[in-house]
Structure 1
Amino acid sequence: MKIIGISLLMMGCLMGFSLGIDILQGFDVSQALYNALSPFRVMEVAELFVLFFLLFLFLLNLRIFL
């Protein structure tokens, strides 16, 4: 659980930093959110498959050690 918590905390801090920089550059909040999530919108099917497969392996590995 610590690994998941730390990972989510790091992701939240980095996304907040990214959103803050976008807002300081003059983007509105909706455009800043779009910029933060846009890498996932342009991924192809094979890239999404690899992403979800790696997440599945990560969660499976956590389940084994619980």
Structure 2
Amino acid sequence: MKFFGITLLLLIPLVVLSLGMDILMGFDLDNSIKHDFNPFLVKDPAEFILFIILVSFLVFSFFYRKKKKKNKGK
């Protein structure tokens, strides 16, 4: 529960900061909210490919560690 509270305490000011920066750049509030809550709309294709590679690396490393710990227990 503590992690959830800390996450919310960090999320709220960061979203407000991001909304403020979008508004200062000239976007209206509707577009700013759309950019904040759907970040994949503003990604370039290269950024999206890098994101997919990093997420797949994270998933594979999780399964590799789990398999490694399982083999150590035997």
Whole-angstrom distance in 1 between the partners of 2:11 and 2:28: 21
Whole-angstrom distance in 1 between the partners of 2:23 and 2:39: 18
Bigger-Rg structure (1/2): 2
1:5-29 CA distance string (max 9 Å, x none): 1101111111111001001111111
1:10-63 CA distance string (max 9 Å, x none): 1111111100100111111101001112225689xxx7xx8xxxxxxxxxxxxx
Letter in structure 2 aligned against 1:35: H
Whole-angstrom distance in 2 between the partners of 1:33 and 1:2: 27
Aligned residue in 2 for 1:60: none
Identity %: 42
RMSD of aligned Cα (Å): 2.8
* Larger relative contact order, structure 1 or 2 (CA cutoff 8 Å, min sep 6): 1
Could you say if the C-alpha distance between residues 31 and 12 of structure 1 is closer, same or farther in structure 2, counting changes exceeding 3 Å? Answer: same
Gaps spanning 5+ residues in structure 2: where?
A: 56-74
TM-score, reference length from structure 1: 0.54
4+ long deviations beyond 4 Å: 40-43
Gaps spanning 5+ residues in structure 1: where?
A: 51-66
Letter in structure 2 aligned against 1:11: L
Could you say if the C-alpha distance between residues 2 and 17 of structure 1 is closer, same or farther in structure 2, counting changes exceeding 3 Å? Answer: same
Letter in structure 2 aligned against 1:29: L
Partner secondary structure for residue 38 of structure 2? helix
Letter in structure 1 aligned against 2:27: F
Aligned residue in 1 for 2:19: 19
